[in-house]
Structure 1
Amino acid sequence: MKVVIIGSTHAGTATIKSIKSHYPEAEIDVYEKNDNVSFLSCGIALTVQGEVKNIEDLFYSSPEILRDLGANIHMEHEVTAVDTANKTVTVTDLTTQTVTTVSYDKLVATTGSWPVVPPIPGIEDERIVLSKNYTHAKALISYANDPKIRRVVIIGGGYIGTELVEAFNVKGREVTLIDNQPTVLNRYFDDAFTKNVADLFTAHGVTVATGQLVQSFENTPEAVIVKTDQSEFAADLVVMSVGFRPNTQLFAGQLDMMPNGALLVNDYMQTSQPDVYAAGDSVAVHYNPTGENAYIPLATNAVRQGTLIGYNLVKPTVKYMGTQSTSGLKLYDLNMASSGLTEAHAKELGLDAASLTMTDNFRPEFMSSTAPVLMTITWEKTTQRILGVQLQSKYDISQSANTASVAIQNRMTLTDLAFVDMLFQPWFDRPFNYLNLLAQAALAQADKTDA
C-alpha cells in the first residue's frame, strides 16, 4: 500500500506515526516544502518573552525520527498539483527544481493553514510580519532582542495576538494592540472576562485600541504608521495576527469544501474521495455544540485527526468525536480557559441560548489562601444542554475547562453538571466543586425563567 502525505506539521507527523503503528508494511512518502517538521507555533510568544530559552525545543520530532519509523521523508519538496481521479501528485524538488509525478493508493492532505494577510495599502513593508512558522519565530525573537525595536503594534486580539502583546511588553517594548472587534478575545470570552484582560494590559502600560479598523500603512524610514479609522500609531514593528485560512488550493474542484476552502471529511477522516484523507488546519471539524461543521484550526484537533487516519486507513474503525474548541491561555498571572460557545456566539448561530456569570472561591475561605474564579455557563433553553463554559482566575482552572469539554461532548444538561460526583478535600475545592455550583446557579435561573 503506497501512501502519500502532503505536509508534516502536527497533523502530518501524527499521521505518519499512527500509520506506521497500525500498518508497518505501508510505504509512506511525505512531501514537506519547508526544511523542518513538527514546529510548535503555540510556543512562539513564550520564546519571544524568554520563558522558553531555546527555540529548537519547540520541535517534538524531526525528519530523522520519522525516517527511523520507516517513512520516506522528502524535505523541501512542494506538491504543485494533485489528480485525485488518477491518483497522482506532481512534486517539485525546491533545491534542484526537478519535477516528478508520483502515484498513490491513499493520499493524506495535511497541508495546514496560512495567516490571513488583508489587502491593506502599504502592507508589503518588511517591518510588517506574521507569526506562524519557524522562520517567523526566529524573526520575532530577533526583533524582541533588538534594542532599536521600541514600538510594537499587534494587529488582532485573538490568542496569538494577546500572547504576543504580553511577550513584547515583558521585553520592555511600547506595545499597542489593535482589533476591529469591540473587545479582545471576542469570540472566546464574554465582556466580563475580556474587560479584565484589557484592564490588565492597560495596567502594564499597553495601549488597547479595540473597535478600530486598520485602513492603511504609511511607510517612512523612521517608522510604519498604522492608520485606523480613528487613530494613528507609529511602530518599529507590526505583527499581523488576524486569523488563518486553510491551504487547500491543490484540491479545488476535486474535493468538497466549506466556502473558506476547509476540506469536508466524514467521521473517519475521509474526504469526498474515499482514498483521500485529510486532517489538521486544512480541514473543517465537527463542532459538537452546534452539530455542524466549523473551521477551528487548533493543534489539538490536528493531532487527534492525524492519529485517527492511521486507525481508519484501510477500513472505518474509530470515529472522530468532534471538538468543543477547548482552549486556554495565561496572561501575566491571569489564567483563562473556555470550551464551547459564548451566549452571543450561540445566538449568532441561531441557537436559543441563555447564560449565567458568577464568581466563587475555588476552595473554602478557612484555608490559608484561596482565589476567586470568574465563570460563565451557556446552555440551550429548550433542553438545558450545556453549550459552553468560560473560566478565569489566578488559580489554575485549566483542567476544569477539560471537564466542561467532556460535559459538552456528552451533551450533558445543567442538572447533570450540577450534581455530577466530584471529589471534596479542602486543599482542592469545596464540598461542591465550583463547576457544580455554577451549574446549580444556572439551573435555578433556568427554572425561575421557565416558571
Structure 2
Amino acid sequence: MKIIVIGCTHAGTTAVKNLLRLHPDADITVYERNDTVSFLSCGIALHVGGVVEHAEDLFYSSPQELAALGASMHVLHDVINVDNENKKIRVRNLQTGEQFTDKYDKLVFTTGSAPVIPSIPGVGLKNIQLCKNYYQAQQIIKKATNAQKIAVIGAGYIGIELVEAFATNGKDVTLIEGANRILNKYLDHEFTDKIETTLREHHVTLALGEKVESFIGNSAGGVQAVQTSKQTHEADLVLLCVGFKPLTDLIKDKVDTLENGALLVNEYMQTSDPNIFAAGDNCAVFHNSANHMAYIPLATNATKMGTLVAYNIKRPTFAYKGTQGTSGLKLYDLNIASTGLTEEAAAIYGLDVRSFTFTDHERPTFMPSAEEVRIKLVFEQESLRIVGAQVMSKTDQTHLMNTVSVCIQQQMTVTDLAFADFFFQPHYSKPIHLLNSLALNILEQREPMQKTAEVRVST
C-alpha cells in the first residue's frame, strides 16, 4: 500500500510515526514545503520571553528521525495539484523547480493552517510580523531587539502570551482587539475582567473594542503606527495574531468542507473521498458541548486525529470521540484554563444554559499555603448536562478542566459531578472536592425551584 502524506506538523508527524509502527509493510512518502517538521508554535512566546532559550528546542521530531524510522521524506517540496479521480499528485521541488507526479493508494492530508492576514491598508509594511512557524519566531526575536513600541493585534491566547513576554522584557506594549474584552472565545466576564486588570497592572495598554483600519508607514517603508476606529497607536513592530485559516485550497473543491474551507471528516478521519484521510488544523471537529461541527485548531486535536488516521487507514478501527476545545494559559501569577462552551458561546449555539461561579480554597485553610480558586460551570437548564467550565487560581488548578472535559465527553450532568469520586489529602484537596462542592452548590440552588414545582403538581 502506497500512502502519501502531505504536510508534516502535529497531525502529520503523529500520523507518520503511527503509520510506520502499525503498517511496516506500507510505503510511506511525505511531502513538506518547509525544511522542518513538528514545530510547536505555542512555544514562540516562551522563546520571546526567554523561558525557552533556543527555538530549536520547540521541535519534537525531525525529517531525519522520520526517515530513520522508514518514511521517504521530501522536505522543501510543494504539492501543487491533487487528482483524486486518478489518485495522483503533482509536486514541485522548491530548490530546483522540477515538477513530477506521484501516485497513491491512500492520501493523508495534514497541511495544517496559516495565520489570517487581514486585508488592511499598509499590511505589507516592514516589521508587521506573523507568528506561526520557526522562521517567523526567529524574525520576531531579531526585530524585537531594537523595537520599543510593540503592538499586538488580537487578544487570543497567542496574543496574550506575546504581550506578557514583551512587557516582561521592558517593551512598551499595546494590545489591540476588535471585541470589547480579551479571550472572549474562552472565558466569560468574571475571568477576563481579572486578566485585563492584571495586564494593566503590568503596564500593558489595552485598546479594546477598536478595529484596525490601517497601518501607517515611515519613509523607510517600515510601520510606525496603527490606526484604529478610535485612535492612533505608535508602533515600530506589529504582531498579527488574529486567527488561523485551514490550508485546504488543493482539495476543498473535491471533498466536503465547512464554509471556511475546513475539511469535513467522519469519525474515522475520512473525507467524503474514502481514499483521502485528513487530520489537524485543516479539519473541522465535532464539538461535544455544542453537538456541532466547528473549526477549533489545537495541537491536542491534531495529534489525536493524526494517530487515528494511522489506526483507520486500512479499515475503521477506532472512532474519534470529538473535542471540548480544552485549553490553558499561564499569565504572570495566574493559572487559567477552560473547556467546552462559555456562557456566551452556548447562547450562540442556541443552548438554554445556566451557570454558577464558585470561589473556595483548593485545600483546607489550616494548610499554610491554601489559595483561593475561582471556578465556573455552564450547564443546560433542563437536563443539567455539563457544557463548559472555566478556572483561575494562583495555584495550578488547570487539571480540573481536564476532568470536566471528560465529563462533557461522557455527557455527564451536574448531578453526576456532585457525587463523582475524588480523593482527599490535605496537601492537595479538601474532604469535599472543589468539583463536588461546585456541583452540590448548583443542586442546592435548584432545590427551592423543585419544591415549588412539587407543590404545583400536588395542588
Partner Cα distance (1:241, 1:325) in 2: 19
Residues 285-342 of structure 1 show CA distances to partners (whole Å, capped at 9, x for unaligned) of 0110012110000000000000011100100000011100000010011000001001
State the partner residue of 2:189.
191
Q: Which amino acid aligns with 2:399?
A: Q
Deviation at 1:449, TM superposition (A): 4.5
SS of 1:135 mapped into structure 2:
helix
TM-score by length of 1: 0.98
Q: Which amino acid aligns with 1:88?
A: K
Partner Cα distance (1:65, 1:226) in 2: 44
Contact 1:381 1:446 (8 Å CA) reproduced = no
State the partner residue of 1:306.
306
Q: Which amino acid aligns with 1:189?
A: L
State the partner residue of 2:381.
381
**2:334 maps to 1:334:** yes
Partner Cα distance (2:305, 2:206) in 1: 37
Partner Cα distance (1:310, 1:370) in 2: 45
Partner Cα distance (1:271, 1:340) in 2: 25
Partner Cα distance (1:138, 1:39) in 2: 13
Q: Which amino acid aligns with 2:78?
A: E
SS of 1:249 mapped into structure 2:
coil
Deviation at 1:223, TM superposition (A): 4.7
Contact 2:33 2:76 (8 Å CA) reproduced = yes
State the partner residue of 2:456.
none
Aligned counterparts, 1:341-352, within 5 A:
341-352=341-352
Deviation at 1:430, TM superposition (A): 0.8
Partner Cα distance (2:63, 2:147) in 1: 35
Q: Which amino acid aligns with 1:406?
A: V
SS of 1:245 mapped into structure 2:
strand
State the partner residue of 2:257.
257
Partner Cα distance (1:93, 1:247) in 2: 19
Residues 25-72 of structure 1 show CA distances to partners (whole Å, capped at 9, x for unaligned) of 110110000011110101000000000011111010001100011000
**How high is the sequence identity, in percent, across the aligned residues?**
50
SS of 1:443 mapped into structure 2:
helix
Contact 2:126 2:223 (8 Å CA) reproduced = no
State the partner residue of 1:296.
296
TM-score by length of 2: 0.96
Q: Which amino acid aligns with 1:267?
A: E
Cα pair distance change 1:226/1:2, threshold 3 Å: same
Equivalent residue for 2:203, pick from 182, 202, 205? 205
SS of 1:315 mapped into structure 2:
coil
Partner Cα distance (2:97, 2:46) in 1: 37
Q: Which amino acid aligns with 1:210?
A: L
Residues 94-134 of structure 1 show CA distances to partners (whole Å, capped at 9, x for unaligned) of 00111111110000000100011111111111211110001
Aligned counterparts, 1:57-206, within 5 A:
57-144=57-144, 146=145, 148-206=146-204
State the partner residue of 1:11.
11
Deviation at 1:382, TM superposition (A): 1.6
Deviation at 1:218, TM superposition (A): 1.0
The runs of 5 or more residues in structure 2 that have no matched partner are 453-459
The runs of 5 or more residues in structure 1 that have no matched partner are none
SS of 1:389 mapped into structure 2:
strand
State the partner residue of 1:36.
36
Q: Which amino acid aligns with 1:214?
A: V
- Superposed CA RMSD: 1.0
Aligned counterparts, 1:14-25, within 5 A:
14-25=14-25
SS of 1:129 mapped into structure 2:
strand
Partner Cα distance (1:83, 1:447) in 2: 62
State the partner residue of 1:422.
422
State the partner residue of 1:398.
398
